[in-house]
Structure 1
């Protein structure tokens, strides 16, 4: 079985590239398939007719789209890893001058046309299966899709430092922002939360403070400049040793409200930092407040809960981590996800789109 992956450049940074790398590992090392990875932006010389399955890691642009349509023999799978139009819209909102805003608006219009073509032609008539990494991703993109989560590979996962004999005066919070899901737009809320939290913690009876380290990419320069002037908040950009730095963190603070958890948050659980995040509907969340993470609907509620977390960090951290690994990470176990993909691949041998795959995930 020869599977051709169409996705980002293998050397590219970010969540989609990492997800594709994990998928290639599943196909090749666990399921034993022959895997070829093509960059979707450079498929002119790719001979897709030799593939048994073409697996696209997101919407394709014109040349790749034409090559996909003309490759009649291979079965075709589309996986949606992001919110196509929402992410394009985030580029427009993040523009810091009129010229950049106009350019990003044109990109958004082209992305919108491209996505309409996918929904009208490719998804109903070309692709045999469409999958999404979460229910919210399928919903945001307006498609019916089988949900197969991104796998999480924990390396050297352990428990955090023991604070039973003392609690540190300085507590380190980390977060990761990107265009994906519009996480970049959550930075003002994160800064406000840290300011309010430090006001609570500076009282003589507590005498502690928190520092927020913001990692990520695609952050507009004007926002980075604004962050540099804020006390207790540092923007550190995209770093190759992110996982190692997470081991020094006491909590991962997500400023967004959508239920989907990205690689950066999941890796925090691996490294020993529980997740705290905002929500609009707790019923949709994998995080259950006080059980496997911290969940809040407002800034004030989050601050109160984080004060309690800081004051009882040793026992709270251990409890939240154990439960998060037994629930959130268990669903994303790489062997479990491999079984899901094996089911999809086997189903492509049946009568293509006429075959109805009944798989509860």
Structure 2
């Protein structure tokens, strides 16, 4: 089978890592996945080999951005050269490479499954960038989304069945034993790409507001925030931290690997996810499996695995998110109860379950192809 995605490793992000993990697990299960992507391999990594075959058609430009101005040509060439029985397309907000993959695969008569990994944009994108949102194309593919929040607008727009295919994660990979640390310092962590969509700057404002409320109330608890990730907003975040005298309570740690992150989670108390446009929230799920209470926005894909006051606290806006931070910082019993629940209750995202769901989607794509041939 061919997996088509604009973005792929070594670029880091939710879609990239999920496609990477999915294809590796399919390969381990005896399947023969291959990846077609517009993400080029940086010069510094020239010659590096990956376990799953990768066909890269991107033009090398700064920041490892996925880009190909004529994506249909390399996709058609690769699909014609290989013996693929199905195409699995992974779509973001507006994905020109994925969109071309849908059109080419349907033109070649291949069964097509499309998984949408993002919430829709706040403005209407051209159909050429999102063909899976048009009723005519949607009827010819097996359409899925990573959460109900992402699936609902697709159903409303296309009128077809949109199946939920959550991102995969084995909870035991993130199971940890918490480490002792100063009970008066509440360690808040957040992991994200530092982009406008993820809202890292409003997050800093929320934490600052929570710190000021705790101080005004005379609370012995103090909040300390560590942000993991990198992106174009890093310079603005550094300026915000300096301007507001937060250098002693906010650390911008950049990228870290999984081993470092799990070790940090051992000493953390709360995970903060400030984005409104979060279709799933794999970083929040990882933290939840590590036992951290999650503070997130209510109308996001994070609600697939976080219920209010069970796995964390859900907010309808920045003011409520600030209030949630203050509550968890001061209510030790609530924080401990949520953490105990998260450490002992697994979410329904184990890879065995996800792989079975994906396999059903492949059979559905083949049935749709047979019915429309």
TM range (shorter): 0.7 to 0.9
What's the CA shift for 1:17? 1.0
**2:251 equivalent to 1:237:** no
Shift in CA distance, 119/302, structure 1 to aligned 2, threshold 3 Å: closer
Equivalent residue for 1:337, pick from 350, 354, 359: 354
Instruction: Give the aligned partner of residue 179 of structure 2.
Output: 161
Shift in CA distance, 277/119, structure 1 to aligned 2, threshold 3 Å: closer
Instruction: Give the aligned partner of residue 152 of structure 1.
Output: 169
Instruction: Give the aligned partner of residue 108 of structure 2.
Output: 71
Pairwise CA RMSD: 3.5
TM-score, normalised relative to structure 1 = 0.74
Q: Distance in 2 between matches of 1:316 and 1:35?
A: 45
Q: Is the 8 A contact 1:177 1:217 kept in 2?
A: yes
Q: Distance in 1 between matches of 2:78 and 2:365?
A: 22
**2:141 equivalent to 1:136:** no
TM-score, normalised relative to structure 2 = 0.72
What's the CA shift for 1:113? 5.0
Superimposed CA distance per residue, residues 110-131 of structure 1 (whole angstroms, 9 cap, x where no aligned partner): x635325454487336x53111
Instruction: Give the aligned partner of residue 80 of structure 1.
Output: 116
Shift in CA distance, 67/297, structure 1 to aligned 2, threshold 3 Å: closer
Instruction: Give the aligned partner of residue 252 of structure 1.
Output: 271
Superimposed CA distance per residue, residues 212-246 of structure 1 (whole angstroms, 9 cap, x where no aligned partner): 22223444355334334240233333333434433
Shift in CA distance, 202/85, structure 1 to aligned 2, threshold 3 Å: closer
Counterparts of residues 98-137 of structure 1 (less than 5 Å): 112=126, 114-120=128-134, 123-124=137-138, 127-137=140-150
Counterparts of residues 201-280 of structure 1 (less than 5 Å): 201-202=214-215, 206-220=219-233, 223-229=236-242, 230=244, 231=246, 232-240=249-257, 241-257=260-276, 260-279=279-298
Q: Distance in 2 between matches of 1:254 and 1:137?
A: 17
Shift in CA distance, 54/196, structure 1 to aligned 2, threshold 3 Å: same
Instruction: Give the aligned partner of residue 196 of structure 1.
Output: 209
Higher deviation after alignment, 222-231 or 50-59: 222-231
Q: Distance in 2 between matches of 1:305 and 1:121?
A: 41
What's the CA shift for 1:173? 0.7
In structure 2, runs of 5+ residues without a counterpart are: 40-55, 58-73
In structure 1, runs of 5+ residues without a counterpart are: 90-108, 356-361
Superimposed CA distance per residue, residues 29-59 of structure 1 (whole angstroms, 9 cap, x where no aligned partner): 24x3221222245352524551011111114
Q: Is the 8 A contact 2:298 2:314 kept in 1?
A: yes
List, as ranges, runs of 4+ consecutive aligned residues in structure 1 with deviation greater than 6 Å: none
What's the CA shift for 1:13? 1.1
**Which secondary structure state, in structure 2, belongs to the residue aligned with residue 252 of structure 1?**
strand
Shift in CA distance, 20/200, structure 1 to aligned 2, threshold 3 Å: same
Shift in CA distance, 238/206, structure 1 to aligned 2, threshold 3 Å: same
**Which secondary structure state, in structure 1, belongs to the residue aligned with residue 143 of structure 2?**
strand
Q: Distance in 1 between matches of 2:298 and 2:365?
A: 37
**Which secondary structure state, in structure 2, belongs to the residue aligned with residue 202 of structure 1?**
helix
Q: Is the 8 A contact 2:200 2:274 kept in 1?
A: yes
Q: Is the 8 A contact 1:133 1:149 kept in 2?
A: yes
What's the CA shift for 1:320? 1.2
What's the CA shift for 1:19? 0.8
Counterparts of residues 52-67 of structure 1 (less than 5 Å): 52-58=85-91, 59-61=95-97, 64=101, 67=104
